[in-house]
Structure 1
Amino acid sequence: MAPSDRSGAARTGVGVYYLISTAGHPNLGDELITRSWLRVLAERAPDVDVWLDCPNPAGAQALLADAHPRLRCVDTLFRLCWEAPSDDAWEVAAFVGRALDDHGQAPRWVPGLRRFGQAAVVHLIGGGFVNGVWPRHLGLLAALDWAARHGAQAAMTGQGLAPLGEDTVSLVRRLVRRLDTVDVRDRTSADLLGLPEAHSGDDLWLAEMPTLIDAERAAGIDAVVCVQGDQLDGRGCERLTEQCLAHLDRWGADPARTAVLECIPRVDRGIFDRLAGLLPGLQFVSWVELLEHGVPAAAHQRWFSTRFHPHLIASAMGARGVAVPVRPGYYDVKHGSLIEAGSAWHLVEPGSGGVAELEADRPGTLAVTGAQVRSRKLAIAGRLYGPGLPGPVVPAPRADRRLLATAGTS
């Protein structure tokens, strides 16, 4: 199919919009971002078939079925990445490219590969899952490159590419050079690509912030804890628990008005189990409640969080807090990008002594930056999927076929 044929399919509603994310795990941030893009598509292209490629398609279909009327979930591209002969990013990328050219390389997924080949738009939506932490996921960039070479509009938005090994940077730069849209969420990722103008911010800014909030529950909560257990060993979890307790004690937090949030089921519950016996009346907000009702964030609160998207949401609502980056080179980049963008939160090393003083007269400007980033995300949505949401949009500059978002770079 010629490039012009694919572009025409996108404009007339014939063809396929193919999104890629890690929705369905579930993980709060990934689910909210994916839902936000699907809702944009539901407004702009309700009659277009939307295929979501993700590692857990059954879970994603159940979670997101109401977000777009023609949503179907598969795991074709992730299967290709997992099927590659090794974890080496170059080998993964080469295998994905070969399999898309020759379906006999991956015969179990021929129907899915054919469906991918029909896409008018291929869109790797935001998150921090394409980097050196999960090297096989770099094969997703090879799929984007293949789509761009075969006439589809190919885009990646809100990507967090750090960390990347030195031997992988040149591969990633080569794989993104043909894409129509290159948009990343932090300055480190933009620098890795050699495209400083590609830095905008996280894709969660696409959502309207009030739609993510459970204001009623937030009114009954003064302190919030969101601590993961998937990046730490046993002793690390103990030190982080002690650090969290020290902050809650300094803040004079009432246990009955303190809540633990769960972004990933079970993974984020450990801190609640360790604290519940010490803090009678401690509240627990499950991931299901967060997705169905919203995040209980408000300006009067204090937060202690290792998770990135709770930091983004709570800081945007005016809450003060402490961000604890549990994985160097990954979470420090994520949290640091929010502080650079205007969050007034304190960045504190895990297990460190002392308690961060949260000044009431330090409100931060993250919400202002977030509004600018949202404008850029809507401009990208307009480029990929046509006009839709009302309101002023600041256009991002074009260079060749690439749309580069620039909000949040100052």
Structure 2
Amino acid sequence: MNFFGLFPSSEKKEIVETLQMPTPIHNPIPKKTFYLVSASGMPNYGDDILTRGWINYIKNIYPDAIIYLDAVDPLVASNLYEDVNCVNFLWQLAQALGENGSIEDKFSDHSVLPIRERLMSEIFNNTDSIHLLGGGYINELWAANLRLIELVSYFGKKNNILTYATGLGLQPLSEEKASQICQFIESYFCFDVRDYESYRVLEKFLPGKISFIGDDYFCFPFSDVVSLVEKETPVLRLCLHNEFSEGDENEKLFIEQVEIAISAFIQRFPGSLIRFYEFRPGSDGYFYKRLKQKFPIIEMVFFETIWKHGLQFSTKDYFLSTRFHFQLIASSVGLSGTSFYWSEYYKNKFDSLKYVSDWSFLNLGEEQLDLESFFEIRGPSFLIDFGRVEREKKFLANRLYQSTNLQHLS
């Protein structure tokens, strides 16, 4: 250290003084790194609000956390979520492996491993947990997606990472496939499903291992998605699609039922609004265009608007839907309506809501809409199990992410 101010300028001298300064030791708390996997990015509002719910939940607990989201389309997903690293490592790997490819063979020789897989491996070297988020995207309809369960297990064991799955709907799932994936589920810290049929087929092979509570939507504040507003006149709210429609006859029957409901609404409430909600861009617009031709007063509420502003309903409104999460969202503020289904896939999804949602369910082709029942005035109400499911799902979320030491959860 140089000291010149102690002497007159004519007698400046340099004094060299060596000080033994201890080096400060900083032990910052390392940032948590979480790896989430979901069917986000198509987009599909149901899958994406669950993903946003988990991201916000984690950020509230760990504001500095590094979050990776393995999404169907990371480009679209990156426009939906802030401060999240959107990738599609596991999604692409699952599709590349197909039903028969070996993950062990793929990663057996690092010298021939493509850079994509090396980048993936590097991320998992520093990850605290891998979490398969809720939804109905893993089943035998899309058989390659079942590999996601195996991939999460593989990287979890390889890197000593906690692995979770919550709120999954795995139907359709045969006992043969269930027995295959159960060997991977066994290594999960938590494996939670949202419907009884998924629970039943897995519990047979892993008794006591499988959790069955309900959809991940119950993990988060409903007010982040929906609110009730006061309105003097009712609105007819539609959220419809034709996925898995089994032929033109079912589609024709469906259109007829919806048109009957719309005509009756217009007759009962002339001048009232009719709104069509786009949950899946590029898909839901098909029915909107068909209905708009006959009923020009119908207004489309686009995905972007719903994503930014959420949903607003009133207790005077009426609802027709084929979408699982539209029904669940309306039910979360005590409102009821009618859902249509025409496949076992959707029948199972809606069956899983019967104990938390006071809606009518119509099997297209076998049942018809009862207009008197549809327009019956009902106040907001909740089924007994609704509160229980909400409490248990929030407890589950706390258990997975609010431990002070994630490596010692038990």
TM-score range, shorter chain: 0.7 to 0.9
Q: Which has the larger radius of gyration?
A: 2
Residue by residue over 1:125-145, the C-alpha shift from the partner in whole angstroms, topping out at 9 and shown as x without a partner, is 111111111111111111221
Residue by residue over 1:8-64, the C-alpha shift from the partner in whole angstroms, topping out at 9 and shown as x without a partner, is xxx954452110001111100111000000001111112121111111111111111
Residue by residue over 1:154-185, the C-alpha shift from the partner in whole angstroms, topping out at 9 and shown as x without a partner, is 10001001111232010122211111111111
Distance of aligned partners of 1:13 and 1:143 in 2 relative to their CA distance in 1, 3 Å threshold: farther
Answering whether residue 185 of structure 2 is matched by residue 169 of structure 1, we say no
Distance of aligned partners of 1:274 and 1:243 in 2 relative to their CA distance in 1, 3 Å threshold: same
Partners of 1:344 and 1:363 within 8 A in 2: no
Answering whether residue 395 of structure 2 is matched by residue 379 of structure 1, we say yes
Aligned-partner residue type, residue 338 of structure 1: L
Q: Shift in Å at residue 237 of structure 1? A: 2.8
Higher helix share: 1
Q: Which of 56, 60, 73 is the equivalent residue of 2:73?
A: 56
Equivalent residue for 1:115? 123
Query: Aligned partners of 2:189 and 2:295: how far apart in 1?
Result: 52
**Which blocks of at least 5 consecutive residues in structure 1 are unaligned?**
1-10, 389-400, 404-410
Query: Aligned partners of 1:99 and 1:110: how far apart in 2?
Result: 11
Residue by residue over 1:70-121, the C-alpha shift from the partner in whole angstroms, topping out at 9 and shown as x without a partner, is x20100001111111x4x3xx25xx234435555465543212321343210
Answering whether residue 369 of structure 2 is matched by residue 355 of structure 1, we say yes
Q: Which of 61, 72, 75 is the equivalent residue of 1:44?
A: 61
Q: Which of 252, 255, 269 is the equivalent residue of 1:238?
A: 252
Answering whether residue 113 of structure 2 is matched by residue 96 of structure 1, we say no
Query: Aligned partners of 2:307 and 2:216: how far apart in 1?
Result: 17
Aligned-partner residue type, residue 195 of structure 2: D
Equivalent residue for 2:320? 304
Query: Aligned partners of 1:178 and 1:310: how far apart in 2?
Result: 34
Answering whether residue 220 of structure 2 is matched by residue 203 of structure 1, we say no
Distance of aligned partners of 1:298 and 1:326 in 2 relative to their CA distance in 1, 3 Å threshold: farther
Query: Aligned partners of 1:267 and 1:354: how far apart in 2?
Result: 25
Aligned-partner residue type, residue 122 of structure 1: I
SS state of the match for residue 40, structure 1? helix
Equivalent residue for 2:359? 345
Residue by residue over 1:287-316, the C-alpha shift from the partner in whole angstroms, topping out at 9 and shown as x without a partner, is 111111112333322211111000101122
Identity %: 25
Q: Which aligned pairs between 1:268-287 and structure 2 lie closer than 5 A?
A: 268-287=284-303
Partners of 1:306 and 1:323 within 8 A in 2: yes
Equivalent residue for 1:145? 153
Equivalent residue for 2:337? 321
Query: Aligned partners of 2:94 and 2:270: how far apart in 1?
Result: 47
Aligned-partner residue type, residue 187 of structure 2: R
The range that moved more, 11-20 or 179-188, is 11-20
Residue by residue over 1:198-232, the C-alpha shift from the partner in whole angstroms, topping out at 9 and shown as x without a partner, is 11110011221122125459776521111113322
Equivalent residue for 1:135? 143
Partners of 1:126 and 1:159 within 8 A in 2: yes
Partners of 2:164 and 2:188 within 8 A in 1: yes
Aligned-partner residue type, residue 318 of structure 2: R
Partners of 2:68 and 2:86 within 8 A in 1: yes
Q: Which of 72, 82, 95 is the equivalent residue of 1:82?
A: 95
SS state of the match for residue 348, structure 1? strand
Equivalent residue for 1:21? 38
Q: Shift in Å at residue 373 of structure 1? A: 2.7
Partners of 2:227 and 2:313 within 8 A in 1: yes
Residue by residue over 1:252-298, the C-alpha shift from the partner in whole angstroms, topping out at 9 and shown as x without a partner, is 45474111111001201122111113223212111111111112333
TM-score by length of 1: 0.82
SS state of the match for residue 296, structure 1? strand
Q: Which of 206, 212, 215 is the equivalent residue of 2:225?
A: 212
Aligned-partner residue type, residue 256 of structure 2: E
Query: Aligned partners of 2:301 and 2:215: how far apart in 1?
Result: 24
Distance of aligned partners of 1:282 and 1:361 in 2 relative to their CA distance in 1, 3 Å threshold: closer
Q: Shift in Å at residue 248 of structure 1? A: 2.9
SS state of the match for residue 173, structure 2? coil
Aligned-partner residue type, residue 125 of structure 1: L
Query: Aligned partners of 1:12 and 1:353: how far apart in 2?
Result: 60
Structural RMSD (CA): 2.7
**Which blocks of at least 5 consecutive residues in structure 2 are unaligned?**
1-27
Partners of 1:17 and 1:48 within 8 A in 2: yes
Partners of 1:301 and 1:320 within 8 A in 2: no
SS state of the match for residue 320, structure 1? coil
TM-score by length of 2: 0.82
SS state of the match for residue 129, structure 2? strand
Partners of 1:256 and 1:283 within 8 A in 2: no
Partners of 2:250 and 2:342 within 8 A in 1: no
Aligned-partner residue type, residue 225 of structure 1: L
SS state of the match for residue 237, structure 2? strand
Equivalent residue for 1:34? 51
The count of aligned residue pairs is 368
Equivalent residue for 1:227? 240
Aligned-partner residue type, residue 146 of structure 1: Y
Distance of aligned partners of 1:217 and 1:237 in 2 relative to their CA distance in 1, 3 Å threshold: farther
The range that moved more, 142-151 or 378-387, is 378-387
The range that moved more, 304-313 or 287-296, is 287-296
